[in-house]
């Protein structure tokens, strides 16, 4: 069957950005300029023109921007994302007969005088141009119509002349007018509108601090409260954090409560795990009275915002046997043949303090709604960031629906996916709408591992939907590197997290105080984990690396290069214990060289990719180590570093020498030219 | 808005093969086994199962085949393409509760006896299993229902027992029955049916010979006819060709007829270019009477088929000013302002003997139909292969429609796209339905150029839709390599074409006779080109490389490895003038080492990828040069070759040593394992 319109001769392919052929949105940040590329071409030798059509989904009308040709049929345009939320874009392209005519006429004029060239039929070409301008005039505003018709008349008069014409017979003004009023009757429009999701800036650049509120009491005799957390806010703000994340704050179940060190035989007074959510005092919308009242919570949120700190709540969709839902909505849980509710288990392990929700429930609609309502409840209490616990154990279609529903009303809400699982599942959660994701960073320790992993996650296609948030530790994960590496290991892993990732977080004060004892050999669980007991910390201990944390967070704040990941670039070093990488943003260029070995000094030569750093070849340049204030004069590609893990495990250099002006930059290696083309049109 | 069914928990992504997200079909050959891969996963720890649904588009019912798990959530299945034409496939996957139950029960049983393990609730688990089997019984045929219910009863009885159970309590027969009757109520089906186009084998493996019929006369006093071509068929068949391609056979226009060497001032009696199609004697459905009658044509087609040769016609959709369409359908051409018809031009060049068709004609529907009818006319005269001239100067949507329409009725028709233009346009034509495509082979001459280009076009994604047909020369292209390289260059380029490409062709007898004079220096046009005059050739000349052609075509015929491109693999050589590559098909392994320098002997060490050749490490193996019959004993990876371009420009080895049995092969390097996973479910 023939198409409705067979004269749409232009083909549009390979549009970027797109995630899974437009199934999911590409993610960007408010104020970003999106670069759209596409392959656009038509048959034959006609010129083409094209434009991007783009709009926030809340607007009916498309805005437009023309694409410009790169090489080999690739085209490019950029546009600004000036509001949060869903955007849509597509590409439209058409044969540009006016541009073809202009180009051909120039060749005809050039050939008029070359001996032996055939007669160029210039009068006919001029009359053709006049017809094109007359048709353009029909599409133009009255203001321009006369100009275009006048130019058409000029061409027709010129066509009567018998002398060769001199120069191109149209003024730039007329050419521009004609270009602005293209004939798009037979324009091809790409059949899909591709989605972009635009978050606020904290989705890309955020600095997280996790603490257990019950461990914040300055009084060893009692457990901490929201008020104690509030008292800590100046400290946390001074350290440079802008997201304060608390494990679940809800009432904790009594049934099968876990004791210290995950014991199944708790002592009286053991507080239980905050992830065993729900008791007779309430569930996911209630507050554990040990922490304070709802008013205390509101006060904490308000006080935090004064310090530019946002509170992030932990949403863990699971229930203690005492959770009200268990009685009110038994249909949301899986019943066993004996009528009891199926607790969480992964044979032979049993977690009888936790009832998972059954996403295959006949009443899934009500369940989905209730979970959605949990988020909205806290959003209405001014929470805009959620760390979601184990989202990969809940149905993926639920997340896609739930996050989209929330984002429709609250586009500024951010979700961090706490999933440590296989790559496809982690990426699928990010596609489903999570704003940030935990990563494998904790288990990537050698330079080669780090480089391979970060090159994967900071480049398209992954970086179009997956935003890493790097954690050197969490309450669940005390990696062997930290267990064995002492204070240098904490400094190294911290610097890596804070400079490789524009989003990172630490679980403190265990982290900055160097807590490194595992539950048992080979385990990544903490001994005396705060998950099961109240702890009291001495934040003023002299071995704390809080000063380093404070300093690096200030460096992050002052250097835009460290506030995104797109420019991350690794530079080779001749010592595998040294990892060197840079991030750039305009003239702000940060170069990190870090010793990955916590046990001894490592030194070596690093080979800088000068082009990446916008540095001239074979010349001196000046850098400043932002950790020490020391200035260095470096030269050309190869430079030497020596790093003692206990004193200074890393350099964080800022390049002070200005980037050369664009014309001084060595020419970029361009795409290969198209293959040589024989004279092939037409055969014969 | 919630989905209609929220309990479809499985995600299906990254299905292969697919071209542009299913916009175009992936191409395969009748009898091929398609390998489908997909990423398939769900939330949590449940097991999943999946199947490919596939069917020829002419059948309503899907056939099915289960996918099996590879690593990291990738799954794979294969199915046979047992008929030509359009196929569709998709993937369906679901949570397999029975498989999850089996796996869990095994772990529970194993844990029963381990000291300290929690009680495993095995009776409950057995009762759960019984319920699963009872539900399975509802989906089974009556024959199996009783078996399944019986097994369920056994589990229930066992659940009453107080002694630990020994071994897994279900027979394999029951497990198989349950697996064959899965609960697919909440199955996810990939939302697209992905197309595959299945051609007959000659689309993948064909050997083309092009000749001008008017140059086949044995009598220098007259020009050649179909009868003369017919007389040549035994010669062409003996040389090993199975497609005989003739430039256009239609009446040639008189207006602006070109003379010898493309002169615009022809002499009387100059026959004109066959591509200037149409005269008062007819157009694209007529035959140039100088070549014979329609009956002669039919006789030629019939005689060719006796020799297993198919005739390929040249379809050039352009018209001489004398073509009947010019008068009958002036609306299919572009009128100039003076009322004349726009001839082909690419300023400053003019081709006044050619009127291009206007694909923006208001009457495009009639034009499309007429062009379609041209193909069908010749198809009805038993032509099944068309070489399409300059398809890239006709609207791409036309080709997509036209080829699909023809393929619906005649799935055995093959189309070769003669487009030498930019990569996107060439690939777009292949996606639009062309079965084979001319390539840049002619302009790829160094080893590095050849390797880069062939690695691009013989691997997915390109090889899923683009099938190269390699031509060392054409009537339009006499490359400098042939102009300057003498007989060795012809042998080299021929062997490259015939072994790098399962489809290749030569334009003869100019090629095998070494015709190498250009029209002028720097031109790729032939001097005294057959495009503009009748030639007479001495096919028996002693310098002809026809014996080599015959020999290599026989080698292609006897070695399945050379009949497809998928296995093409390059092996490094320490001399850039030597190119080494292999193709394999089962135990048939062909290794080519060729000297690319036509001027002198080149020698060097080649480093074989033994794994690719299924050869053991550190051992001797035997090879035979199929060009000379010489046997060699080679050893391990590094082996030496020396090739004299005039005598033996290449080895075409067959590896005689049997491939080791699969278990003796060194283990394949598998995908990296998933990252280490902390115990993360559930938190707390």
Which CATH number do you get for residue B122? 1.20.58
Q: Verify that A144 and A28 share a domain, yes or no.
A: no
> Where is the domain boundary, A170, A198, A226?
A198
Contacts with A, B 76-135, CB within 8 Å: 95, 104, 107-108, 110-111, 114, 117-118, 120, 124, 127-128, 130-131
Question: Of B43, B336, B677, which is closest to A394 when you measure between CB atoms?
Answer: B43
Judge if A104 and A153 occupy the same domain.
yes
Position B228 pLDDT exceeds 50: yes
Please tell me the distance in Å from B72's CA to the nearest CA on chain A: 7
Query: By the CB < 8 Å criterion, does A372 face chain B?
Result: no
Verify whether the Cβ–Cβ distance B401 to A39 is below 8 Å: no
Q: Identify whether residues A63 and A193 lie together within a single domain.
A: yes
Confidence class for position B670, pLDDT limits 50, 70, 90 = very low
What is the residue-wise DSSP string for A149-173?
HHHHHHHHHHHH--SPP-S-SS-HH
Here the tokens at position A495 are 């610097």
Total domains present in chain B? 2
- Same domain membership, residue B174 and residue B42: no
- Cβ A395–B6 below 8 Å, yes or no? yes
pLDDT band at B671 (very low <50, low <70, confident <90, very high): very low
pLDDT in tens, B586-644: 999 999 999 999 999 999 999 999 999 999 999 999 999 999 999 999 999 999 999 99
- CATH code, B79: 2.60.40.10
Phi, psi angle pair for B241, to nearest 5°: -90, 145
Residue B611 maps to a domain: no
Reported as a pLDDT band with limits 50, 70 and 90, residue B662 is: low
| Residues 135 through 174 of chain B touching chain A, CB cutoff 8 Å | none
ipTM value > 0.90: yes
Instruction: Establish if A192 belongs to a structural domain.
Output: yes
Q: Domain range for residue A15? A: 11-96+188-198
Q: Are A658 and A615 in contact (CB under 8 A)?
A: no
Which two structure tokens, joined as six digits, stand for B251?
A: 């009446």
| Interface touch A421/B677, C-beta < 8 Å | yes
Half-sphere exposure of A370 (CA within 13 A, CB side): 18
Write down the pLDDT at residue B349: 87
Task: State how far the Cα of B41 lies from the Cα of A418, in Å rounded to an integer.
Answer: 18
Say if residue A15 is in the same domain as residue A91: yes
Asked if B87 and B115 sit in the same domain, the reply is no
Residue B208 inside a domain? The answer is no
Report the predicted TM-score, pTM, of the whole model to 2 decimal places.
0.94
Instruction: Output the pLDDT for position A682.
Output: 39
pLDDT band at B663 (very low <50, low <70, confident <90, very high): low
For residues B44-80, one letter each, b for 16 or more C-beta atoms within 10 angstroms of the residue's C-beta and e for the rest, the string is: bebbbbbbbbbbbeeeeeeeeeebeeeeebbbebebe
Residue at A169 is within a domain? yes
B261 touches chain A (CB under 8 A): no
Task: Divide the 684 residues of chain A into consecutive groups of 10 and give the mean pLDDT of each group.
Answer: 95 98 98 98 97 97 98 97 98 98 94 77 94 96 94 96 88 96 97 98 98 97 98 98 98 96 94 97 98 98 98 98 98 95 90 95 98 98 98 98 98 98 98 98 98 98 98 98 98 98 98 98 97 97 98 98 98 98 97 98 98 95 97 97 96 91 49 44 38
Closest chain A residue to B335 measured between Cα atoms? A128
- The nearest CA of chain A is from the CA of B627 a distance in Å of 33
Query: CB B9 to CB A368 under 8 A?
Result: no
Instruction: Tell me, yes or no, whether B80 and B193 share the same domain.
Output: yes
Instruction: State the best of B404, B446, B673, B683 to mutate against chain A, taking most chain A CBs within 10 Å.
Output: B683
Same domain (yes/no): B50, B160: no
Query: Of A205-209, B63-67, B99-103, B120-124, which gets the smallest average pLDDT?
Result: B120-124
In a domain, A516, yes or no: no
What are the pLDDT digits (tens) for B447-486? Answer: 999 999 999 999 999 999 999 999 999 999 999 999 999 9
Extended strands (E) in B294-410: 310-315, 318-319, 344-346, 349-351, 355-356, 385-389
Query: What strands lie across the sheet with B414-418, from one edge to the other?
Result: B436-437, B414-418, B385-389, B310-315, B243-246, B206-210, B503-507
Taking each helix axis as running N to C, give the angle between helix A480-500 and helix A546-558, from 0 to 180 degrees, rounded to the nearest 10. 20
Q: According to the model, what pLDDT value does residue A676 have?
A: 46
Considering the domain boundaries, does residue A229 fall inside one? Answer: no
> Is B389 assigned a catalytic role?
yes
The answer to whether A377 and A411 are in contact (CB under 8 A) is no
Do B142 and B163 fall into the same domain? yes
Domain boundary among B180, B209, B237: B180
Q: Which residues on A lie below 8 Å from B348 (Cβ)?
A: 107-108, 110-111, 114, 117-118, 120
On whether both A90 and A22 belong to a single domain, the answer is yes
Inside any domain, residue B544: no
Q: Based on the fold, state whether residues B92 and B193 are members of the same structural domain.
A: yes
Q: Following DSSP, what letter does each residue of A205-264 receive, concatenated? A: SEEEEE--GGG--SSTTS---HHHHHHHHHHHHHHT--EEEES--S-B--TT--BGGGBS
Using the 3D structure, point to which of A166, A198, A230 is the last residue of a domain: A198
Q: Is residue B159 part of a domain?
A: yes
Query: pLDDT band for position B676 (50/70/90)?
Result: very low
Give dist(CA B482, CA B573) in Å, integer.
24
pLDDT on residue A113: 78
**Does the beta-carbon distance from A6 to B120 stay under 8 Å?**
no
Q: What percent of chain B has pLDDT over 90?
A: 92
Q: Which helix (H) or strand (E) holds B551?
A: helix B546-558
| Beta-bridge partner residues of A199 | A29
Residue B660 has pLDDT above 80, yes or no: no
On whether both A67 and A114 belong to a single domain, the answer is no
**B418 labelled catalytic:** yes
Q: How near does any CA of chain B get to the CA of A239, in Å? A: 28
């Amino acid at each position: 069957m023939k198409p409705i319109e067979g004269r749409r001769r232009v083909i549009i392919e390979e549009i970027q950005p797109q995630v899974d052929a437009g199934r999911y949105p590409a993610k960007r940040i408010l104020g970003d300029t999106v670069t759209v590329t596409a392959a656009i071409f038509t048959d034959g030798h006609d010129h083409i023109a094209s434009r991007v059509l783009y709009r926030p989904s809340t607007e009916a009308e498309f805005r437009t921007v023309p694409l410009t040709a790169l090489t080999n049929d690739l085209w490019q345009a950029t546009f600004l994302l000036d509001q949060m939320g869903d955007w849509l874009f597509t590409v439209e392209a058409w044969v540009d007969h006016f541009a073809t005519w202009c180009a051909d006429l120039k060749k005809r004029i050039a050939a008029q005088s070359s001996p032996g060239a055939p007669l160029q039929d210039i009068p006919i070409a001029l009359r053709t141009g006049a017809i094109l301008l007359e048709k353009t005039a029909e599409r133009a505003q009255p203001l321009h119509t006369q100009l275009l018709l006048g130019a058409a008349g000029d061409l027709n008069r010129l066509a009567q002349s018998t002398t060769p014409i001199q120069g191109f017979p149209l003024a730039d003004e007329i050419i521009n007018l004609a270009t602005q009023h293209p004939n798009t009757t037979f324009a091809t429009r790409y059949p899909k509108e591709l989605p972009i999701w635009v978050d606020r800036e904290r989705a890309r650049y955020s600095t997280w601090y996790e603490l257990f509120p019950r461990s914040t009491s300055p009084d060893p005799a009692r457990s901490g409260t929201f008020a104690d957390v509030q008292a800590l806010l100046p400290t946390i703000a001074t350290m440079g954090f802008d997201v304060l994340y608390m494990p679940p704050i809800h009432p904790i179940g009594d049934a099968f409560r876990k004791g210290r060190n995950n014991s199944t035989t708790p002592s009286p007074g053991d507080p239980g795990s905050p992830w065993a959510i729900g008791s007779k005092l309430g569930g996911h919308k209630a507050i554990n009275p040990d922490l304070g009242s709802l008013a205390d919570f509101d006060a904490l949120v308000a006080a935090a915002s004064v310090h530019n700190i946002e509170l992030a709540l932990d949403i863990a969709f699971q229930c203690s046997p005492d959770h009200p839902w268990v009685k009110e909505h038994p249909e949301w849980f899986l019943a066993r043949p004996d009528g009891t509710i199926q607790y969480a288990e992964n044979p032979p392990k049993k977690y009888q303090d936790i009832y998972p929700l059954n996403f295959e429930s006949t009443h899934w609609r009500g369940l989905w709604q209730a979970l959605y309502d949990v988020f909205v409840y806290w959003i209405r209490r001014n929470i805009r960031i959620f760390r979601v616990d184990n989202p990969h154990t809940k149905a993926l279609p639920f997340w896609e629906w739930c996050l989209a529903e929330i984002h429709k009303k609250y586009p500024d809400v951010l979700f961090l996916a706490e999933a440590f699982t296989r790559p496809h599942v982690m990426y699928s959660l990010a596609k489903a709408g999570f704003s940030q994701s935990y990563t494998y960073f904790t288990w990537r320790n050698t330079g080669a591992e780090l480089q391979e992993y970060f090159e994967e996650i900071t480049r398209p296609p992954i970086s179009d939907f997956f935003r890493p948030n790097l954690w050197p530790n969490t309450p669940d994960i005390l990696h062997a590197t930290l267990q064995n590496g002492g204070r240098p290991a904490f400094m190294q892993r911290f610097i890596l997290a804070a400079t490789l990732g524009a989003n990172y977080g630490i679980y403190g004060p265990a982290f900055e105080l160097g807590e490194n004892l595992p539950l048992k050999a080979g385990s990544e669980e903490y001994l005396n984990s705060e998950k099961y007991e109240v702890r009291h910390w001495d934040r003023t201990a002299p071995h704390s690396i809080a000063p380093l944390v404070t300093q690096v967070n200030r460096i992050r704040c002052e250097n835009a290069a460290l506030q995104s990941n797109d420019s991350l670039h690794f530079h080779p070093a001749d010592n595998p214990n040294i990892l060197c990488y840079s991030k750039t943003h305009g003239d702000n260029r940060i170069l990190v060289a870090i010793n990955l070995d916590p046990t001894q000094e490592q030194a070596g030569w690093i080979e800088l990719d000068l082009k990446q750093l916008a540095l001239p070849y074979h010349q001196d340049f000046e850098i400043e180590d932002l950790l020490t204030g020391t200035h260095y004069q470096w030269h050309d590609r190869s430079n030497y570093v020596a790093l003692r893990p206990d004193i200074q495990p890393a350099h964080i250099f800022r390049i002070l020498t200005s980037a050369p002006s664009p014309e001084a930059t060595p020419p970029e290696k361009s795409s290969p030219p198209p293959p040589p083309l024989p004279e092939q049109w037409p055969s014969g």
